[in-house]
């Protein structure tokens, strides 16, 4: 894995663009992601089945990786078995 | 829909609804709209928790969708040296620069007209403001609740004097959405002018001017007469001077609006539809002048007639009425209105949560009878890397900009 490339889930429709991180293995749905999806899909680990959201960026606490979801799917992303978190914009709270 | 703005790039540095809505209209028309957002905070519009008295679902954020559908979001901190240089680079590739930043901010961060024009002398520079880009209050910001509704006099005239205070705007971003369309129209005209003459213009639309244009017939009349007219309290019956114009209550509390402004040719047909055909032969109502003179008596007959049947009956029954009328319905009722749907007034985009599509209102202009085809609003900074690579930045430079905090 290296920045600027795409990774695909082996168990669902999820595709991500690698924004940060190289030489590590990220998982989707509990199974390592790869450049190409295998001919036969693996099974989704229910512990990593919260789904991915289109256009969202996912990061780990240490800032090792950042993945941009370009195609959503049923699996959720993790690094070394630890779930990645959404990196959301942090606007000031507003109300009318 | 025919992509009339295909090949036009709009560079947007704008927040909330008013000015971004102009970008959304241009995107609906086929423009490539690049929305620059702060890499950490994003568009301030993303911060709304409640709007119009309702809680927003951040994953199905209709308030972001309405003014941002069809755009790409690029996260740039334009307060950094690398960030502002990048903005200039993008400006070189753009036809229109669109902003609602206050003048002091544009000057401080150097993206005012002279800075953007230094990068691209042929760019159309479009500003949206609260009160206009000239005069003592050009530095003052505002929302449609302040500039469009309150200061303009619109809120005052909408409110009957019998009420204890002025009505509020009542519909979120009402003035903003009207104003956004005004900006889009101005940009289209400026692009037309540039194509014909080669001259790039700057243009301004304020929320105040938007309100005054919308209220223009009243404003001109008030200036001419020196008097202000305010809204009337709700009643069931015709308006003074024309009984065929007014709101009429049905037996079940619904309301039918009649708006037959020139009643003469419609007297017999209208009375017949109301179940009082004999009124057309009453000497008090035989022609427009007598009907208008005796408006009160006619109005009483009509009010009693409307009160005999329920709303659904009148909706059906008045379909053959020759004069102008409408049922009073809600904004949500319109979402299922056959006529609105026949004119493609709603289109769908993918929802951020992957659930059922979001239904959005299209802009008011339709080309060639064709529905809008566009995409959802972007997530904050969703397209930073892909867009920058598209305009030729190498990954190495993207990483450097990122390390410097210029982009996200």
Q: Above pLDDT 70, what percent of chain B? A: 100
**Do B385 and A19 lie within an 8 Å CB cutoff?**
yes
Q: Above pLDDT 90, what percent of chain A? A: 89
Residues of chain B in contact with residue A1, where contact means CB-CB under 8 angstroms, are: none
Encode pLDDT of B350-398 as tens digits: 999 999 999 999 999 999 999 999 999 999 999 999 999 999 999 999 9
User: How close is the nearest chain B Cα to the Cα of A32, in Å?
Assistant: 23
Question: Is the model's pLDDT at A96 over the cut of 90?
Answer: no
SS (H, E, C) chain B: CCCCCCCCEEEEECCCCHHHHHHHHHHHCCCEEEEEECCCCCCHHHHEEEECCEECCCCCCHHHHHHHCCCEEEEECCCCHHHHHHHHHHHHCCCEEEECCCHHHHHHCCCCHHHHHHHCCCCEEEEEECCCCCCCCCCCCCCHHHHHHHHCCHHHHHCCCCCCCCCCCCCCCHHHHHHHHHHHHHHHHHHHHHHHHCCCCEEEEEHHHHHHHHCHHHHHHHHHHCCCCCCCCCCCEEECCEEEEEEEECCCCCEEEEECCCCHHHHHHHHHHCCCHHHHHCCCCCCHHHHHHCHHHHHHHHHHHHCCCCHHHHHHHHHHCCCCEEECCCHHHHCCCHHHHHCCCEEEECCCCCCCCEEEECCCCCCCCCCCCCCCCCCCCCCHHHHHHHCCCCHHHHHHHHHCCCEC
Residue of A nearest to B379 (CA): A55
Encode pLDDT of B246-263 as tens digits: 999 999 999 999 999 999
**Do A89 and B44 lie within an 8 Å CB cutoff?**
no
Select from B47, B381, B386 the Cβ nearest to the Cβ of A92. Answer: B47
pLDDT at B89: 98
β-strand partners of A34: A8
Question: Is the model's pLDDT at B52 over the cut of 90?
Answer: no
Select from B50, B51, B379 the Cβ nearest to the Cβ of A55. Answer: B379
Which of A55, A67, A68, A75 is the best substitution to test chain B (most B C-beta atoms within 10 A)?
A55
Select from B41, B145, B172 the Cβ nearest to the Cβ of A90. Answer: B41
Encode pLDDT of B328-349 as tens digits: 999 999 999 999 999 999 999 9
User: How close is the nearest chain A Cα to the Cα of B232, in Å?
Assistant: 27
pTM listed for this prediction: 0.94
Which of A14, A75, A94 is the best substitution to test chain B (most B C-beta atoms within 10 A)?
A94
**Do A53 and B380 lie within an 8 Å CB cutoff?**
no
Encode pLDDT of B185-197 as tens digits: 999 999 999 999 9
CB A17 within 8 A of CB A10: no
Question: Is the model's pLDDT at A1 over the cut of 90?
Answer: no
Complex ipTM: 0.90
Q: Above pLDDT 70, what percent of chain A? A: 100
Encode pLDDT of B89-127 as tens digits: 999 999 999 999 999 999 999 999 999 999 999 999 999
The rounded mean pLDDT for chain B is 97
Encode pLDDT of A32-79 as tens digits: 999 999 999 999 999 999 999 999 999 999 999 999 999 999 999 999
B42-56, B71-85, B109-123, B169-183: range with lowest mean pLDDT = B42-56
Residues of chain B in contact with residue A17, where contact means CB-CB under 8 angstroms, are: 385-386
Select from B50, B380, B381 the Cβ nearest to the Cβ of A95. Answer: B50
Which of B385, B403, B407 is the best substitution to test chain A (most A C-beta atoms within 10 A)?
B385
β-strand partners of B35: B12, B73
Average pLDDT over residues B55-81: 96
CB atoms within 10 A of CB B312: 12
pLDDT at B21: 98
The rounded mean pLDDT for chain A is 95
Q: Above pLDDT 90, what percent of chain B? A: 98
Chain B residues near any Cβ of chain A (below 8 Å): 37-38, 40-52, 59, 145, 172, 350, 352-354, 378-382, 385-386, 389, 395, 399
Encode pLDDT of B196-240 as tens digits: 999 999 999 999 999 999 999 999 999 999 999 999 999 999 999
Select from A53, A93, A95 the Cβ nearest to the Cβ of B352. Answer: A53
CA-to-CA distance for B266 and B234, rounded, in angstroms? 25
Across the A:B interface, residue pairs with CB atoms under 8 Å apart total 66
Question: Is the model's pLDDT at B53 over the cut of 90?
Answer: no
pLDDT at B1: 87
Per DSSP, the residues of chain A read --TT-EEE-SSSS-EEEEEE--S--EEETTEE-BSS--SS--PPPGGG-S---TT-EEE-TTS--EEEEEE--SS-EEETTEEPEE----PPPEE-
**N-term to C-term CA, chain A:** 45
């Amino acid at each position: 894995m290296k920045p600027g490339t795409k990774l695909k889930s082996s168990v669902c429709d999820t595709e991500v663009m690698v924004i940060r991180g190289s030489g590590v293995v990220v998982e989707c749905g509990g199974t390592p992601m790869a450049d190409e999806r295998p001919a036969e899909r693996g099974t989704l680990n229910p512990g990593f089945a919260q789904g991915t959201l289109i256009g969202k960026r996912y990061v780990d606490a240490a800032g090792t990786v950042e993945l941009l979801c370009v195609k959503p799917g049923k699996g959720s992303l993790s690094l070394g078995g630890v779930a990645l978190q959404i990196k959301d914009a942090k606007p000031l709270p507003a109300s009318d | 829909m025919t992509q009339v703005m295909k090949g036009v790039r709009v560079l947007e540095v704008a927040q909330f609804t008013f000015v971004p809505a102009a970008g959304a209209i241009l995107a609906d028309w086929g423009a490539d709209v690049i929305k620059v957002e702060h890499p950490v905070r994003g568009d301030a519009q993303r911060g709304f928790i409640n709007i119009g008295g309702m809680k927003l679902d951040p994953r199905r954020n209709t308030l972001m969708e309405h003014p941002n559908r069809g755009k790409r979001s690029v996260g740039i901190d334009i307060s950094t040296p690398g960030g502002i240089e990048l903005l200039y680079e993008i400006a070189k590739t753009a036809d229109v620069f669109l902003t609602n930043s206050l003048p002091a901010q544009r000057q401080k961060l150097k993206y005012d007209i002279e800075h953007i024009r230094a990068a691209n002398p042929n760019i159309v520079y479009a500003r949206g403001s609260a009160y206009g880009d000239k005069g003592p209050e050009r530095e003052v910001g505002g929302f449609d609740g302040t500039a469009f509704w309150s200061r303009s006099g619109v809120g005052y005239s909408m409110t009957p004097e019998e009420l204890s205070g002025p009505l509020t705007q009542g519909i979120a971003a009402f003035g903003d959405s009207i104003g956004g369309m005004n900006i889009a129209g101005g940009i289209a005209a400026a692009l037309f002018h540039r194509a014909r003459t080669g001259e790039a213009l700057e243009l301004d639309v304020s929320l105040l001017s938007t309100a005054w244009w919308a209220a223009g017939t009243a404003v001109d009349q008030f200036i001419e007469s020196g008097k202000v007219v305010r809204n009337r309290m709700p009643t069931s019956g015709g308006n003074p001077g024309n009984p065929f114009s007014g709101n009429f209550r049905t037996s079940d509390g619904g309301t039918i609006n009649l708006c037959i402004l020139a009643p003469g040719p419609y007297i017999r047909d209208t009375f017949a539809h109301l179940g009082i055909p004999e009124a057309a032969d009453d000497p008090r109502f035989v022609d427009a002048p007598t009907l208008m003179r005796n408006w009160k008596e006619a109005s009483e007959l009509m009010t009693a007639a409307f009160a005999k049947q329920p709303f659904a009956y009148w909706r059906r029954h008045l379909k053959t009425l020759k004069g102008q009328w409408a049922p009073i319905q809600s904004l949500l009722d319109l979402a299922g209105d056959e006529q609105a749907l026949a004119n493609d007034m709603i289109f769908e985009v993918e929802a951020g949560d992957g659930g059922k599509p979001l239904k959005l209102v299209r802009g008011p202009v339709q080309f060639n009878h064709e529905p809008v085809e566009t995409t959802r609003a972007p997530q904050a900074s969703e397209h930073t890397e892909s867009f920058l690579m598209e305009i030729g930045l190498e990954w190495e430079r993207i990483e450097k900009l990122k390390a410097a905090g210029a982009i996200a």
